[in-house]
Amino acid sequence: MAKKKTFSYEEIRELFAGSSVPLVTVDKRWHELFPEKYKTSKIKTLESNVKSLVKKQGKLVNENKDLKRAKKKLMSDIVKNMEDAQNPVIKKGKKLMEELNEKIIANEDELAKIPYELREANEELMAYSMLECYERMVENREKIDKIKVWMDDVKEQVKEKKVKQLMLEEDTQKIYSYLHDLVGPEAMNRFDKDRK
């Protein structure tokens, strides 16, 4: 029998290079294929990494929304107090505005990186998932082949037993018929009653 080919991580990654791989951790079918018992430590780590990046992205988006709201309110407060240049609200507001702008820019820079990090982490998870699935398919096929061999063997045993059963039934019928003819029906009926 020819040896079955196994794939490397790199070969698997090449299979979907350039294609858009859906986010694995939100795919219901992926979760059906990977209940906890099938998740290797590597897959668990990669899944956690993807989930962390998604969570981080959501947190940064929400944080930026809050920062922009705060910036808008601060701008409104500064505009209200523009007449008095010495007003502490304006000085404090300018400093806060700079801090808000810096934080918004930092978050946007971070948000710009996340899609690439997320795509890389997701593809890595997908590749290791494919390797694991392929290995499970190979194991399943081997088990299926063993079951088929076992079933064929059992079928052969059943055939042999059936032949033996038919031979015993035929032999029993011949014996009964002979005794019936030899001693008569009354004796055989009494014999049958005594045996029951």
Q: At what angle do helices 41-80 and 88-183 cross, to 10 degrees?
A: 150
Q: Which tokens in the block code for residue 123? A: 């593809």
For residues 10-30, average pLDDT: 85
User: Is the separation of the CB atoms in 99 and 67 below 8 Å?
Assistant: no
Q: Which tokens in the block code for residue 84? A: 């008095």
Which runs of consecutive H residues, i.e. helices, occur in the chain? Answer: 9-15, 28-33, 41-80, 88-183, 185-195
pTM, rounded to two decimals: 0.69
For residues 104-111, average pLDDT: 95
Q: Most distant CA pair in the chain: distance in Å?
A: 135
Please check the confidence at residue 146 and state whether its pLDDT lies above 50: yes
Distance CA 133, CA 17 (A): 19
**What's the pLDDT score for residue 195?**
72
Q: pLDDT digit string (tens) for 24-72?
A: 999 999 999 999 998 999 999 999 999 999 999 999 999 999 999 999 9
Average pLDDT, the chain: 88
Q: How confident is the model at residue 1 (pLDDT cuts 50, 70, 90)?
A: very low
Domain boundaries defined on the chain: 9-142
